[in-house]
Amino acid sequence: MTTILINGRSATVSDPPEVPLLWVLRDSLALTGTKYGCGVGQCGACTVHVDGAAVRSCVMPLSAVGARPVATIEGLAPAGRLHELQQAWLDERVSQCGYCQPGMLMSAAALLARVPSPSETQVRESITNLCRCGTYPRVLRAVLRAAVQP
Ligand code: FES
Ligand code: FES
């Protein structure tokens, strides 16, 4: 059994330590907002936060999490409220099919927590998630909209 801190609560799971965090979240904890895309750390659909940093959960074994807090898209904002990035996403009509969007939002949130007022270049370089619907220009506008204005 392993206990992890997830979205501010502790949870105990019976997954083996080598199981990727993605499958612990989706299959054992029913946190299905985190998506499976490539499974090899390339697309970013599975992005969550571990100790505030964006990580690709498909390539992080459960054993690597340790005592560090994990946050998923379900925990991005307090219940019943929108994170400023989610509001900016709505304002810019970012989402198309939506599949990549939880990962995009988690990457963006980690960036703004680290760099509250990023440049356009910093956004482009920090958010390397893939989107088959081509929402990249809208993602950029939404992140800059949600950022602290310089
Ligand atoms: S599913 Fe994890 S990076 Fe693609
Ligand atoms: S919105 Fe469809 S893959 Fe990104």
The residues near 2 (Cβ < 8 Å, ≥ 6 apart) are 12, 13, 14, 15, 17, 62, 63
DSSP 147: S
Tracing tokens 């991005």 back to the chain, one arrives at 76
Local confidence band at 80 (pLDDT 50, 70, 90 cut-offs): confident
Distances from the Cα of 80 to the Cα of 20, 70, 74, 129, angstroms: 30, 20, 11, 27
To test the pocket of ligand 1, the residue of 32, 42, 106, 127 to mutate (highest count of ligand atoms within 8 Å of its CB) is 42
Cα(24) to centroid(ligand 2), Å: 23
Provide the percentage of residues in the chain whose pLDDT is more than 70: 99
**pLDDT (0 to 100) of residue 39:** 97
Which atom of ligand 1 sits closest to the CA of residue 130? 4
**pLDDT (0 to 100) of residue 40:** 98
